[in-house]
Structure 1
């Protein structure tokens, strides 16, 4: 597993950069549960971006297999 695909992905970069705006936003907030909630939402967004990159390879494999199955079905129908 290469870390380069995560570092260069625009979704992950954008989610990580969101830490700056989240930090600015929470700096002026009171120190209560809402501040933790804002950071939790940011963390969830970052986790989704990372998971998306991790699943891209599987998605590509599925698309290739699905296309091959469609072609095989067309060939079977044509032979009948």
Structure 2
């Protein structure tokens, strides 16, 4: 796996830049469990973006295999 495909993916870049908005939102919140929920949702979105980039090669192989049948 090349790290370049993660760094150039719009999904990963958008999710990573979402940390700015999340930090602004969490900064104005009281220090309780809701702050952890906000960061958890952001982290989940970032994980989904990274997973989607990781699965792109398998998706392309599946499409090629499906067309060859």
TM-score, normalisation: structure 2: 0.99
2:7 maps to which residue?
7
2:45 maps to which residue?
45
Report the RMSD for the aligned CA atoms in angstroms.
0.3
1:61 maps to which residue?
61
* Number of matched pairs: 69
Runs of 4+ aligned residues of structure 1 deviating over 2 Å after TM superposition are none
| Secondary structure of residue in 2 paired with 1:31 | coil
Distance in 1, Cα, partners of 2:28 & 2:52? 32
Shift of 1:41: 0.1
| Structure 1 runs not aligned, ≥5 long | 70-80
Higher RCO (CA < 8 A, seq sep 6+): 2
TM-score, normalisation: structure 1: 0.86
1:74 maps to which residue?
none
Shift of 1:45: 0.1
* 2:46 matches 1:28: no
Give the number of the structure whose alpha-carbon radius of gyration is greater: 1
| Structure 2 runs not aligned, ≥5 long | none
Shift of 1:3: 0.1
What CA deviation, in whole Å up to 9, does each residue of 1:11-67 have, x standing for no partner? Answer: 000000000000000001001010000000000000000000000000000000000
